[in-house]
Amino acid sequence: MTTTHGRPKDATAEGGVGTTSRRVVVLAFLTIFLDGFDTASLGFVVPTLAREWNLDESAFTPALVATNLGVVIGYLCSSRAAARFGRKPLIVTGTVVFAAGSALTVPVDSVTMLGVARLVTALGLGAVLPACVSLTADNVPPARRASASVGVVLAIAVGAVAGGIVSTPLITAFGWTSVFWAGAVLPALLVPLLVRGLPGTPASSAASAPRAEAADPSVRRLFEQGTAVQTVLLWCFALLMYTTNYGLLTWLPTLLARGYGFTPEQAPVGTSMIAVGGVIGGLVMVPLCSRIGTPRALTVMALVAVVFLVATAWADTGRAALLVMLAAAGAGIVAGVLGQTALAVTLYPTAARTTGVAYAAALGRTGSIVGPAVGGGLLALDVPGREILLLSAVPPALGAVVAFVFVVRARSTAVRDRS
């Protein structure tokens, strides 16, 4: 192994991918995969819970809101927690918290207690993601930071899809509590691997970095050194893409039933197609970020979302073609949601990276409240399903404009640097 001043020289300094880099990426992916599974788990069991508790599904809205609120709080707290205790302890502790929260969900017998348990779970879920992304970025070569970040965040979508696949047989065989037992046991099994496998500091630079540069949890850092405009643009992009993503995840089955003749039993397949398309979109984003740069990749994928959302709204085709178009729209939407993390990783220096990722994710996640609220309001006004689907293309269209501004600013900066 090559050494520098008696210390092993990590692959991140050489431009290659070493053992530590691979281990960090795999462990971060597994952690975020379980994060995605646990985040989506309540949605899988609501129909069963509503039937067993003799409640309307809308009665579970407070518990769903508690999940989103807890995740946002977790995001916002993660940067200070990482600065004080370190990212590895934060990832391990956050994983323990969301495993415990999932276990606490099993014995609940009311919507109120369900909301409390989900809030606890979501605090851990939100704390984990920014730290995982930041630690991954610091342990891979700079040229691969964007693609590695998209790759590990893609695990959220993969975890949600996997949860959708296994939840039905689990609930059928063992009841709704089995989904939460899975969400508790699997993270608990991962914790020892995280303790043994995650590095405490970036393998290449943390040992030589000044203590003051180790981490800066202050949000002011995101507006210094010429990144103020980019920070605002990043937050706007994240909010726009999250708004459409969560609006569709919440109301797409209703839109398909109202505007496209789907039965209530058939309509959820549309949400599944969005999720499957999202996984494909994330896989496309990984090489696309490396090939054309993250801002251009986000512009392209946001436009893909717009084109296929508009096509779906105007479509007069068979259901198979309609579902394919929804999958393509999902690819663009979810790629934007995942890609904003890569943009944050490349935009900020190491000391501000966890804070940058956390605040972009938190501001974006407010779209999980805005999107469903706007969609619900439009439905309450009896706006036709096709028109609501057409309106859902507006946020990604604006997102494409925001991403293109990133491209223009990067080009202008490059021209100034050459002159």
Of the listed ranges 25-29, 215-219, 239-243, 297-301, the least confidently predicted one is 215-219
Between the alpha carbon of residue 298 and those of residues 26, 72, 155, the distances in Å are 24, 23, 18
pLDDT exceeds cutoff 80 at 403: yes
Cα dihedral sign, 407-413-414-419: positive
Identify which has the larger pLDDT, 370 or 164: 370
pLDDT at 213: 43
pLDDT exceeds cutoff 50 at 31: yes
pLDDT exceeds cutoff 70 at 195: yes
pLDDT exceeds cutoff 50 at 17: yes
pLDDT exceeds cutoff 60 at 272: yes
Mean pLDDT, range 315-341, rounded to an integer: 91
Confidence tier at 211 by pLDDT (50, 70, 90):
very low
pLDDT exceeds cutoff 60 at 205: no
Q: Say how far apart CA 352 and CA 82 lie, in whole Å.
A: 11
Confidence tier at 412 by pLDDT (50, 70, 90):
low
Highest-confidence segment of 18-32, 204-218, 257-271: 18-32
Mean pLDDT, range 61-76, rounded to an integer: 86
Average pLDDT, the chain: 84
Token output for 183? 């969400």
- pTM: predicted TM-score of the whole model, two decimal places: 0.77
DSSP string, 152-189: HHHHHHHHHHHHHHHHHHHHHHH-THHHHHHHHHHHHH
Give me the architecture of the 213-419 domain, per CATH. Answer: Up-down Bundle (1.20)
Q: Do domains 18-203 and 213-419 have the same CATH topology?
A: yes
Confidence tier at 206 by pLDDT (50, 70, 90):
very low
Helix axes 19-52, 87-105, angle to 10 degrees: 20
pLDDT per residue as tens digits for the range 93-108? 999 999 999 999 999 9
pLDDT at 216: 55
pLDDT per residue as tens digits for the range 109-156? 999 999 999 999 999 999 999 899 889 988 888 888 888 888 888 888
Domain ranges for the chain: 18-203, 213-419
pLDDT at 265: 65
pLDDT exceeds cutoff 90 at 275: no
pLDDT at 413: 54
Nearest to 182 by CA among 18, 45, 84, 377: 45
- Other beta carbons less than 10 A from residue 376's beta carbon: 16
pLDDT at 217: 63
Residues sharing a CB contact under 8 Å with residue 245, sequence separation 6 or more, in sequence order: 333, 334, 336, 337, 367, 368, 371
Helix axes 111-138, 19-52, angle to 10 degrees: 170
Residues sharing a CB contact under 8 Å with residue 333, sequence separation 6 or more, in sequence order: 241, 244, 245, 248, 274, 278, 281, 305, 396
Identify which has the larger pLDDT, 211 or 355: 355
Contact 260, 322 (CB under 8 A): yes
Q: What percent of the chain has a predicted confidence (pLDDT) above 90?
A: 38
What is the Cα 201 distance to its own chain's centre? 24
Helix axes 350-365, 319-347, angle to 10 degrees: 150
Amino acid code (one letter) for 340 = Q
What are the backbone dihedrals phi and psi of residue 3, each rounded to the nearest 5 degrees, phi first? -120, 155
Identify which has the larger pLDDT, 332 or 58: 332
**Degrees to nearest 5, angle at CA 98 with 94 and 99:** 115
CATH, range 18-203: 1.20.1250.20
Helical (H) or strand (E) element with 331: helix 319-347
pLDDT exceeds cutoff 70 at 234: yes
